[in-house]
Chains A and B, each alone.
Chain A
């Protein structure tokens, strides 16, 4: 705790006001609005909303399309996270050996972080394109076998690979930073104990990365729920047959294409709760991370 403060005055209030106002108008009010819509239904002939209790939720939860969306969201979250983190961890451990060209490797792996999700989606749409990309080879051998716009599993695979590709850099940066914060004396002590480099990776580096690992796990899953919009929108547009209709994408389409505010709001509330739960878990692990160091 600090002991040195300025006396509270209108200055402090004026400094706090802008952010608080923006938060109120663009975060809290819309969230409350979502709650209101989730528990009410707009009358078709106008005349305001009527209270419908959990009806909207019941409707959403009994909608097979919604459960399809949940299913693919979970698959997407887990698959991108596992792929991205495995790749990031492997690369980080080897980059951390700081051999010649260390900086080049590092930049080479970091830059995809800066690529906008829709750009990733578009680039991968080309890569996976059955007619023009490398997959056209497959189609010359087995005509019609590869087509994102026809086969759900291929579309899901495509968004997973694109999503994972985009996530690698973020996890890599954190893994590398965590590895570099391992004190050199510890590595040297292990070397004196006779542990060779590969052995040190397994016995020393991996265990010390556990907190970072958990932190990234939660962050990646949370991100995959919210940041996937751009990729889906440009790569598959939610199709085919709603196979890649991730939760965020469904909220968007139901709200802005279907004008079903109440349904979209109910879905928003569910996703909000999910994000809150994940954030909560994340901060428990962040705390643990502090304890480690």
Chain B
């Protein structure tokens, strides 16, 4: 700070405190609801201070939604997506930056364009592909006559099929392609001095050795930043698991479980809405990514800024 500005300083704190309250209020209310009994939540006056029912409500919400296996599933999928995205981003960017070949720009643009095709927009056909991930190849082989040729020559009719519905693969695979991650890695690789590459070549290291021994250790910061963002992204996935997983008991994810907790006529059957349980479940579901963001704050902010989304 350059000069003393006592009045402005007080104003600053007041404004920030006000902003923080606005941000905190909805979650505070949700939290308070999760600490009271069904009756207390649904009767006037509204509670503004926590009660003593938090633990009871959490246990009941946990059991009711069968959160145990769902947390495990969510963790598996999140880690799968994080590892997949980082690996893909790293190796794709590596190939694009450290090899000189025709079509490099074409591939770069092909990856870039995926930014303009968010999942929500192409949701229906993507779901169709997930039902049989080999459809594209089957169709292409049908069109080009390869299948006809195979059928004529060997008498075997080619039927490629790989159903991804209700599987971890189906949850993870369509989410691991990453234009932003690839760009972040590319940006980082472009800052690696040419001389380091040359030194490695003089030392006898081939491309994979260089990637493993030099680039990956150097990109630890990158990995941490990407991992934080991608974890939050994966954990919070909603639309895709909602569609791909019909077998919720075995493959359900926690965020999707929230859609069952909306206390409307369907869930309460005309009874009193179970807000206390819904809010307890909401708290449980949102806690892990919040913890990650707060603990990994530094990496998270850096990653977010550098990927430009």
**Chains A and B share a contact (CB less than 8 Å):** yes
A228 to B114 CA separation, bound complex (whole angstroms) = 19
Chain A residue contacts of B26, Cβ below 8 A: 123-124, 127, 165
Q: Using a Cβ cutoff of 8 Å, how many contacts connect chains A and B?
A: 298
Whether A134 contacts B29 by the Cβ 8 Å rule is: yes
* A16, A30, A129, A256: most-surrounded residue (chain B CB, <10 A): A30
Chain A residue contacts of B92, Cβ below 8 A: 15-16, 18-19
Nearest B-chain residue to A35, judged by Cβ: B125
A22 to B114 CA separation, bound complex (whole angstroms) = 11
Q: Give A106-134 interface residues, CB cut-off 8 Å to B.
A: 106-119, 122-127, 129, 131-134
Question: Is B250 interfacial (CB 8 A cutoff)?
Answer: no
Question: Is B80 interfacial (CB 8 A cutoff)?
Answer: no
Whether B46 contacts A137 by the Cβ 8 Å rule is: yes
| Contacts A99-B9, A109-B20 given; does A131 touch B273 at CB 8 Å | yes
Chain A residue contacts of B195, Cβ below 8 A: 4
Chain B residue contacts of A264, Cβ below 8 A: 124
Whether B275 contacts A129 by the Cβ 8 Å rule is: yes
Of B61-69, B144-152, B217-225, B230-238, the segment with at least 4 beta carbons within 8 Å of chain A is B230-238
* B2, B46, B119, B122: most-surrounded residue (chain A CB, <10 A): B122
Q: Give A1-36 interface residues, CB cut-off 8 Å to B.
A: 2-9, 11-13, 15-16, 18-20, 22-31, 33-34
Whether A97 contacts B275 by the Cβ 8 Å rule is: no
Chain B residue contacts of A108, Cβ below 8 A: 20, 23-24
Question: Is B120 interfacial (CB 8 A cutoff)?
Answer: yes
B12, B135, B301: the one within 8 Å of A99 (CB): B12
Question: Is A240 interfacial (CB 8 A cutoff)?
Answer: no
Question: Is A65 interfacial (CB 8 A cutoff)?
Answer: no
Chain B residue contacts of A95, Cβ below 8 A: 16
Interface string of A35-75 (1 = CB under 8 A from B): 00100000000000000000000000000000000000000
Question: Is B290 interfacial (CB 8 A cutoff)?
Answer: yes
Chain B residue contacts of A129, Cβ below 8 A: 273, 275
Chain B residue contacts of A268, Cβ below 8 A: 121-125
A98 to B33 CA separation, bound complex (whole angstroms) = 35
Chain B residue contacts of A90, Cβ below 8 A: 15, 19
Question: Is B1 interfacial (CB 8 A cutoff)?
Answer: yes
Whether B124 contacts A256 by the Cβ 8 Å rule is: yes
Question: Is B76 interfacial (CB 8 A cutoff)?
Answer: no
Question: Is A94 interfacial (CB 8 A cutoff)?
Answer: yes
| Contacts A12-B95, A177-B305 given; does A229 touch B120 at CB 8 Å | yes
Whether B136 contacts A271 by the Cβ 8 Å rule is: no
Chain A residue contacts of B75, Cβ below 8 A: none
Chain A residue contacts of B8, Cβ below 8 A: 197-198
A26, A27, A113: the one within 8 Å of B293 (CB): A113
| Contacts A118-B255, A132-B33 given; does A197 touch B3 at CB 8 Å | yes
Nearest A-chain residue to B87, judged by Cβ: A18
A20, A22, A106, A251: the one within 8 Å of B121 (CB): A251
Question: Is A206 interfacial (CB 8 A cutoff)?
Answer: no
Whether A107 contacts B294 by the Cβ 8 Å rule is: yes
Chain A residue contacts of B29, Cβ below 8 A: 123, 126-127, 133-134
A-B contact pairs, 6 of them (CB 8 A): A112-B27, A115-B27, A115-B236, A188-B2, A233-B238, A256-B243
Q: List the 8 shortest-distance A-B pairs measured between CB atoms, nearest first.
A: A30-B125, A116-B236, A33-B125, A255-B124, A114-B289, A4-B194, A4-B197, A15-B95
